[in-house]
Amino acid sequence: MNGNRQSRPEVTLRDILFAVFRHRKKAAAFFLFVMTATIVITFLTPRTYLSKSKLFVRLGRENAMLDSAATLGNNPVVAVPSSRESEINSVAEMLASRAILERVVDELGPETVLDDRTQGMSEQSAREGGVAQWLQETGNQARNWASGVVDSLRSAVSSSSLTPRDQALELLVKTLTAEPVRKSNVVLVTYEARQPELAKQVVASAVNAYLEQHVRLNRTRGTHEFFAEHTKRLGDELERLEGELGNLKTTTGLTSVDEQRTQIVARIGRLEDELLTAQAARVEAETKVAALRAKLAELPKEQVLETNTGIGNQGTDLIREKFFALQVAEREAASIYTANHPKLQMVRGELAEAARIMDEQEPTRTEVKTAPDASYEQTRLALIAEEPLLEALQAKTASLEKQLADVRGSLETLNANEIRITHLKREIDLCEADYRKYAANLEEARIDQAMETERMSNISVVQPASFEPRAIRPRRALNLALGLLVAVGGALGVALCADYLQRSSSVPGSSEDSPKRPDVAESPRRSMDAPALAGRG
């Protein structure tokens, strides 16, 4: 095998040129076919224009703070996302979402988006002339025929055809792209169209629609109205509680609870001391009065100075004289009147009564001379002196007890009022704290609403939708250069392959294998061509 490899001759440039010359028609046909196809495709392919827009995603209120409704009652919480890449990817996904593209279709109109292909080709045909224009028109007819066939097939397969709006939406879904730029905070939005103006309009409309949606999605609807309503309600409640506290202080006269409590406690202590002193003095006075009354009850009120016995009774003497006078009057009346006369009866009745009284009287009496007892008088005077003191002490004790009860009642009232005041102050503190929280959140909501109105967000348009009059496809110079390269290389390959196949199928040594060229027929090199080309195969 090694011997065969060593004996195999090498292919030279002369052999290649000879093969090309020998199969020049085939090579030329392939060259013309490739170049014609390249030219036709290059000039038939509609021009495609690209519009770009770049969005810069920075840290802002949307991702540095939680929503005001979520932080109610708490301090603001920093909520930086764990990955900036995820945030940027979210922006790219939402920007190319169906909702954004629907707004673009509604803004520009389905006809504008769908007529882009026809208008683009018409404008291109107008710019081209001569053969290019003829090629363009021919290509348009072929493309329209193919589109009709495709639409017919779609209608046959699908039970219901898409509306122009849905067709435009599907076109935007396929052609509009939004992707993050690697290792950056930038999102690139691109759209390809047959018209540069339309490409710019679609990108600009998509960016504007997303900016509006971004501001709306990162803010909670109705938070400003919610916090405004509750802030007003808490403000009214706080004002009511403060008014109630002021009225309570005015009614109770409380200014400083601790100072007033100190005064009341000191007054209670003083009254208790006075009451103890008065009670002790009253007990002493009561004991003294009781002792004087007991002693006074034991002592005689009077003492006998002298006693005289046998002394006539003046009263009895007077009664006796009256009796004698009545007897005389009775005799006179008896001499004048009859026994049944009323006057006589009256005199006799008086006479009988006087006789009865006179019988009851002693004929003699004893006269006793007495005088007040000195000890009794001293005790009585001492009792008279002590009783007012006792009454005064009793009145003082009762007054002190009443004052002490009143002061203790004042202390109880003070404590009750203090509890009410403390309760009101607690309610005021809680209400004020809630009011401050709601007011702070209301301000945050107001700022969010103002930012939403002004469309302020953490998305900045670094590059607006660009207008690029130079088409990105087709690249005619590049296509023609590549076509020329493929045509030349392919023609050379066709010639070599044809020569190889011809030599492989021919019988060695036959006259048909030798070319009819007198200039090279006798060349000693010819005998080496066949094995050399066979070795290449």
| 514: helix, strand or coil | coil
Pairing type for strands 302-312 and 49-57 reads unpaired
User: One-letter amino acid identity for 100?
Assistant: I
Burial class (CB in 10 A: 0-12, 13-18, 19+), 129: exposed
List 366's β-bridge partners, or say none: 309
Gap between the Cα atoms of 434 and 72, Å rounded: 9
Cα separation, 447 vs 138, in Å, equals 61
Predicted local distance difference test score (pLDDT) of residue 521:
35
Instruction: Identify the three-state secondary structure at position 312.
Output: strand
- Looking at residue 64, its pLDDT comes to 54
Residue 126, pLDDT score: 44
Tell me phi and psi for residue 308, to 5 degrees.
-115, 125
Q: State the DSSP string of 72-86.
A: TTS---B---S-HHH
Measured distance CA(416)–CA(358) in Å, rounded: 85
- pLDDT value at residue 518: 39
> Is residue 54 helix, strand or coil?
strand
Fold of the domain spanning 46-131+158-218+457-472: Bacterial polysaccharide co-polymerase-like (3.30.1890)
User: Residue 60: which of 97, 89, 87 has the closest Cα?
Assistant: 87
Q: In the sheet that 186-193 helps form, which strands lie side by side, from edge to edge?
A: 177-180, 186-193, 49-57, 459-463
Residues paired with 55 in a beta bridge: 187, 461
Instruction: Report the predicted TM-score, pTM, of the whole model to 2 decimal places.
Output: 0.47
Q: Which residues pair with 187 in a beta bridge?
A: 55, 180
Q: Give the residue extent of every domain in the chain.
A: 1-44+474-537, 46-131+158-218+457-472, 302-372
**Buried/exposed code over 8-47 (b: 16+ C-beta within 10 A; e: otherwise):** ebeeeeebbebbbebbeebbeebbeebbeebbeebbbbbb
For residue 448, give the nearest of 221, 140, 202 by alpha carbon. Answer: 221
Q: Compute the distance between CA of residue 147 and CA of residue 141 in angstroms, rounded to an integer.
A: 10
Q: What is the pLDDT of residue 354?
A: 79
Distance CA 436, CA 230 (A): 11
- pLDDT, position 28: 85
Which residues in the chain land under pLDDT 50? 1-7, 120-131, 155-160, 507, 509-537
Other CB atoms within a 10 A radius of the CB of residue 188 amount to 17
